[in-house]
Structure 1
């Protein structure tokens, strides 16, 4: 269900710059402050917004003396723009008590359709219908056109923009998860790698990347990534990885078949668990026992922090 911007009805975009279209032509919404006023009305989804809320959302705790007059001017201009020839779709701004309410046609706001698609995707995932789950999340993400609420001002849309961005990121993760369930591990690696770089402290992203690496036949890389993520969390936040990420690490070490690892390239058929084992040193080489093991592990490119006494022999 996509937004038809060629429709005679007004359509609105919030998942990117705040914009509007009628019959394929973009509507001039005026200044950033006027677009912000429209965004506040659209985000309330047909509910009234009191004048005090609009003023606070625009200027915070220190509005100008002319704030109410200025907002009324924005509303007057928006009415002139949006209600022009609007008899066919019913778009109008009503005065309700001490505030305003924007009435629009059905399914004309990209955010509403985004939520519709992500809800259907979540329902498909609960039913383990992964093709439908992926298709719905992909349809939702196709509606996004940049940073949500771009071009607006004030504390209200700043907070709401951050909220909408979290919804978009959640849809991206749900799509990656569904793709992995469909066995498309290699296809999601580029985007997951980029997301890890963008959000290095988000454990869910690390978990998906490790699963994708393992499912691509790169179990050793998945284990190495766990070590890198763990160090980042410890160094920057002073915390160990959460239970889910630790459990995934253990499942990869155990070569859990439920993770769906792809067959490794010819000549490297041994499992991850077989490739990591205790290094048995001759007595003459035991320089403090564990210290020697850790030294050899480091020389072979393995972080010894979570793999004590182990080294990667065929990495």
Structure 2
């Protein structure tokens, strides 16, 4: 996947913004970045869009910028010149689409039917926009289309919110969603930057869905592991299941290692909806990862360990 699109995938949620003033550009983007969303699709619905993109690009170079509601070749040219890394349109216009591709840009045309999606793919669009997503049948429709268009990838916008975001992002062919729920226009007009930061952080947390998976406890040998498992099982009235290298207690909430494994005392598994996105977002929060421990299946990371222990335990992310 193109490096820009890979970053879109890792960030997962792309705030869609219609600026009313250039003065809003920097404080809003700083609020989004502080909340863990260093990206924005700036729509050309307002006259200041081009100037906002340029200002953000110059002063916040770490912000991933797209231009949205791009309807003409002229708008596309102005957006790319201002610093937009990708171009998004509400509909599929072959001329505008081809123009952006010919200039070396990344085009995400708006599509609603399999025919439009197929045409856009054949033109060279690696990702297409599905818009308006909910009104056009949502993720269920894309699953049906995806069964035929197996290499098509989507960014979905329109009706996506905190309640259904993981329905979309849980489907592998959807690389990201666009939304406004973390930065609604009334909050922007009020300059409620702290609230936008908090809502952005909440959006990231909902998307990642981090929760305790299981606790692994290191034992010196199989005999100690059996005794430890029996003690925990009796205490909590849980079942015991013996495996090759470990003994599981309960519904695998506890994994008792038959010999010392990773971590001084053991390991703690954290479940997440998407390990790749969790690596990106936790990395933004200062977590370092042991990249050599990454476990990849079918091109998708399913597990990885933190580089450092916490309280004598190795931590690792595991795909839910």
Larger radius of gyration: 1
TM-score normalised by length of structure 2 = 0.21
Higher helix share: 1
